[in-house]
Structure 1
């Protein structure tokens, strides 16, 4: 469910017409719904029920500080994968004890930053990282709480570029070697073992891969406890998918996911950490773009938008689908026509959809890309010297720009010409 609905013939974000926002900030822009973000976060809390838990929002999906503050004020923890994301979480007012640091390539500078600023735990992904963390913690005279990320060699049945739990993926320590690496961790100075971490991928549309991975984690928990380790947290990662196509069967609901977690892991008396991103933020955002031209080609017609692959790269990078709808609701029964929907970037890959059936549109009309809140703005670039586009947050009948569009002067001002030129 989201809060982007047609009212009186116009698509609204909660109680605000998207046409009103477009008039104020120009197109293209991202728009997020506070009500949807809140609802989806609370669904995970409700799904875990009476299990001790911390729901950590995966900042990599949507990192605007205003969004992080909204979720942090609801009690969310944060899952970060860089020093910059850590600082975003802190800027949003999230305390270190609710921040989990993940990622396969943490630098020593990032470790120091988190140890000095406060951290709930590091999800450690390799022996070299473990040893580096031990050295930094010892230098600082502190203890680094850690969970080792294990790779369970489970096929997540998702896109190959966002699968992370198979043996050939770069993530985690092979689960067959976990016992020996935990023994090394326990012997290192400045390290405190607190749990186990696993994350098998993103946009999963069935529960079976999760259950296979979590069953292995349950077995590993018993083995490690028998070896004397105090395993009291299980970090299960994120990955639950969303329905990008309204016509498709919906992925499992958080309540079903939570029930499976309780069934497989509930007997272990561990605190459960989960790191959802897409399911909280995906359907909470839309990308609104304007039609620049309607072009007739050889055997096909094109809708050329003012949004491009630099604004929303998912279709170009992953072949991802987004429902694209007119902001002004078409009349019932209007004849529709297939269009290739493209942007202005000088790449054939700057294509959002091919032969997408759409109602009649003309230059100046607005369209909205649904389910664009996750991995939209965070993956944007200034390719073709196109400014990053605004982000807008709606709350009921009010809205605010939470990231402004930079001017060309601001863009150019970041470049420096050497004195010898």
Structure 2
């Protein structure tokens, strides 16, 4: 049994503070928000979002590196608007994410379209919108982009995503650059495909891209991948091709008390030492690093139950609200919103949700003290891949989201209950397949 044991009273993020036993998000007690809108819910700090972006920009701007937020990490349009207002671009992987990025005020020229399965309508919409570039991940996709551009009478800005066969040393489900990955184009195939694309009048071949995975805590895989791209750029240029852009991808991880995240100065140094001398327009695509530590999931204890290895606390948040523990075996730090009662080093308490799945289990924790029904808990480091992956499994409500700013908070995604779900399932009119047609 794995037990997550943060130090007692640990407050992992500067926007969360404990004052006289009460946990505040900026200047708002989280218990007050819970009383106003109910639990579970996500809370984000506007201050933390802005501070994270400023810290990353400070080390990257001297290198001329542009930042595009990976929208898949947190696609709430209000969160995107916080970044867009700071000049941040967006990295998208669907037409829906493009609509969100544009609605948040991101100029089309600051949006990059990634992803292995872009549909023809999505490609057409991206070209019409005038996005910065399309990161192409296969020869078949390059043909689709060329066809769409030809039909529109446009020239498509194309970057080829390379699969450099680099192990990011992270969880298998979020590693994206090994040889057997579905992502990117094999390094050996890139020169030929780049050369072929350069002959097409409907394509503007601009450069290369790479993304090795998510939650990367070691800078060595970044260096390995970027060095491979630098060598490829030199080879393409030696063959007479123009290479103007390099998309270095995202994946910069966030640490915890036991495993600190990568040093930003070291991250910038790795960029400078691998690709900084190539006279290229450079871009990075962080997601989790910008928003992960800026969010928390607040939940209420419903029942306590004795278990074989300690007590179980059944909470009202579930795997449909926070999928990462079930999907990636992730463990999020947990805070009690009240002062811990009794000995904090007592037997571990296992936090589980109400869904009818054994995987609806957040893990065993020490340091929480004695819990009681109606206690409020906060899973921290939950601003990335939390709400954006949430669902209504078991016909549960779609979880609400709240943005905190100073002494104020506001709901930025309303709770969507069963009434909303049933309205979506109102049956339409029967449609005839026509006389003489085969029925199935």
Q: Tell me the TM-score normalised to structure 1 length.
A: 0.96
**Distance between the aligned counterparts of 1:295 and 1:354, measured in 2?**
14
Aligned partner of 1:202 among 197, 214, 219: 214
Alignment partner of 1:77 is 2:53: no
Aligned partner of 1:322 among 317, 332, 335: 332
**Distance between the aligned counterparts of 2:416 and 2:365, measured in 1?**
34
Q: Which SS does the other structure have where 1:344 is aligned?
A: coil
Structure 1 match to 2:182: 170
Structure 1 match to 2:73: 61
Q: Which SS does the other structure have where 2:314 is aligned?
A: strand
Confirm or deny: 8 A CA contact 1:313 1:379 kept in the other structure: yes
**Distance between the aligned counterparts of 2:371 and 2:45, measured in 1?**
26
Distance verdict in 2 for CA 1:330–1:111, change over 3 Å: same
Aligned partner of 2:33 among 21, 33, 46: 21
| CA offset digits 1:330-383 (Å, max 9, x no partner) | 268556331111000011111000354521111111000010000000111100
Alignment partner of 1:253 is 2:263: yes
Structure 2 match to 1:367: 377
Alignment partner of 1:128 is 2:140: yes
Confirm or deny: 8 A CA contact 1:2 1:283 kept in the other structure: no
**Distance between the aligned counterparts of 1:189 and 1:388, measured in 2?**
47
| CA offset digits 1:253-283 (Å, max 9, x no partner) | 2221011101111111111100000000110
Structure 1 match to 2:274: 264
User: Unaligned regions of 5+ residues in structure 1, if any?
Assistant: none
Q: How does 1:150-229 map to 2 (within 5 A)?
A: 150-229=162-241
Structure 2 match to 1:393: 403
**Distance between the aligned counterparts of 2:201 and 2:425, measured in 1?**
45
**Distance between the aligned counterparts of 1:299 and 1:99, measured in 2?**
49
Structure 2 match to 1:105: 117
Structure 2 match to 1:233: 245
Alignment partner of 1:138 is 2:150: yes
Confirm or deny: 8 A CA contact 2:158 2:205 kept in the other structure: yes
Alignment partner of 1:275 is 2:285: yes
Alignment partner of 1:294 is 2:294: no
**Distance between the aligned counterparts of 1:333 and 1:93, measured in 2?**
50
Q: Which SS does the other structure have where 1:50 is aligned?
A: helix
Distance verdict in 2 for CA 1:299–1:156, change over 3 Å: closer
Q: Which SS does the other structure have where 1:303 is aligned?
A: strand
Deviation at 1:228, TM superposition (A): 2.1
Confirm or deny: 8 A CA contact 2:354 2:360 kept in the other structure: yes
Distance verdict in 2 for CA 1:334–1:202, change over 3 Å: closer
Deviation at 1:191, TM superposition (A): 0.7
| CA offset digits 1:196-234 (Å, max 9, x no partner) | 100100111110000000001111111111222221111
Deviation at 1:2, TM superposition (A): 3.6
Structure 2 match to 1:352: 362
Alignment partner of 1:32 is 2:44: yes
**Distance between the aligned counterparts of 1:281 and 1:140, measured in 2?**
37
**Distance between the aligned counterparts of 1:225 and 1:26, measured in 2?**
59
Confirm or deny: 8 A CA contact 1:157 1:204 kept in the other structure: yes
Structure 2 match to 1:379: 389
Q: How many residues align?
A: 418
Q: Which SS does the other structure have where 2:75 is aligned?
A: coil
**Distance between the aligned counterparts of 1:168 and 1:387, measured in 2?**
37
**Distance between the aligned counterparts of 1:419 and 1:210, measured in 2?**
54
Alignment partner of 1:340 is 2:357: no
Confirm or deny: 8 A CA contact 2:340 2:368 kept in the other structure: no
| CA offset digits 1:61-100 (Å, max 9, x no partner) | 0000000001000000000000000000001010110000
Confirm or deny: 8 A CA contact 2:299 2:378 kept in the other structure: yes
Structure 2 match to 1:306: 316
**Distance between the aligned counterparts of 2:261 and 2:172, measured in 1?**
18
Aligned partner of 1:407 among 407, 417, 420: 417
Deviation at 1:297, TM superposition (A): 3.1
Confirm or deny: 8 A CA contact 1:293 1:303 kept in the other structure: yes
Distance verdict in 2 for CA 1:53–1:355, change over 3 Å: closer
Confirm or deny: 8 A CA contact 2:345 2:367 kept in the other structure: no
Q: Which SS does the other structure have where 1:49 is aligned?
A: helix
Deviation at 1:187, TM superposition (A): 1.3
Q: Tell me the TM-score normalised to structure 2 length.
A: 0.92
Structure 1 match to 2:63: 51
Distance verdict in 2 for CA 1:131–1:2, change over 3 Å: farther
User: Unaligned regions of 5+ residues in structure 2, if any?
Assistant: 1-12, 431-440
